[in-house]
Amino acid sequence: MAGLTVLVDHIATLRETMQSPRPDPAAAALLADIGGADGIGVYLREDRRYVQEKDVRLLRQSIHSRLVLYMSASPEMVGFALDVRPERVVLMPPIDEEDQGDNGMTVRTYDKNLLEVVDTLQSNGISVGITVAPAPEQIKAVHQVHANWVQIFSGRLGASKSPASQGQEWDKIVDAVKMAHRLRLHIAVGGGLDYRLIKLFSGLSEIDEFSLGRSIIAKAVLVGMERAVRDMVALIRSL
């Protein structure tokens, strides 16, 4: 049965937009814990625009579920991860790359620098995932740089404007999941998924985890964080 990591980035975005100490990502994370989340995810950008280092440190101290830190593979961020020690790091493209947020990283086979980053984190007890598009060559490359996890970006599924284009994106995700499973990678899927789209994944048992943020935070505005997380957990368990 797949787990759920709840991303609390948008709580920090709201806080910084309001220029207020609240809402607090750590408080939202604790409610997500109570609601049954298996992990809490947070994206620390290099420009610290929304999530701050103090947020990550407070999450490390306060949550009961695992901490998943989304970050670039820069030396600065690797050093921070080694200091904070999340259970998992998920590598993302730097924010100045054109494709960041669209597809994930472009991983090159046997990339020496990426191999070193993965090895450094793993040698210090931190599991490593990499976010990539649902493309065969990217799944293979994640395997070849020895990452533990692949996070398959699903954002184009929700952004599809027609049933035909959505079907094409769905087929890409299914193929990517099947390939990652054959390569014995742990598999997470995330990006643009909501309470409707998650139902499409019924029967795709190879997935180990879903990573969701925006849709849960949006529902939490109406029903509260704990309830929003419980509802998503129930949907995932029914797949």
What pLDDT digit, counting tens, does each position of 39-79 carry? 999 999 988 989 999 999 999 999 999 999 999 999 999 99
**pLDDT of the residue at 115:** 95
Q: Which domain range does residue 102 map to? A: 3-237
Determine the Cα–Cα distance for residues 151 and 221; give it in Å rounded to an integer: 27
What is residue 102's predicted lDDT score, i.e. its pLDDT?
54
| Burial classification of residue 140, based on how many CB atoms lie within 10 Å of its CB (0-12 exposed, 13-18 middle, 19 or more buried) | middle
CATH label of the domain that carries residue 64? 3.20.20.70
Q: Has this prediction a pTM greater than 0.85? A: yes
Number of domains the chain is built from = 1
* pLDDT value of residue 94: 80
**pLDDT tens digits for range 113-142:** 999 999 999 999 999 999 999 999 999 999
- As a whole number of angstroms, the distance between CA 184 and CA 181 comes to 5
Q: What would the pLDDT profile of 4-50 be if each residue is shown by its tens digit?
A: 999 999 999 999 988 888 999 999 999 999 999 999 999 999 889 89
Beta partners for 187?
150
pLDDT at 97 over 80: no
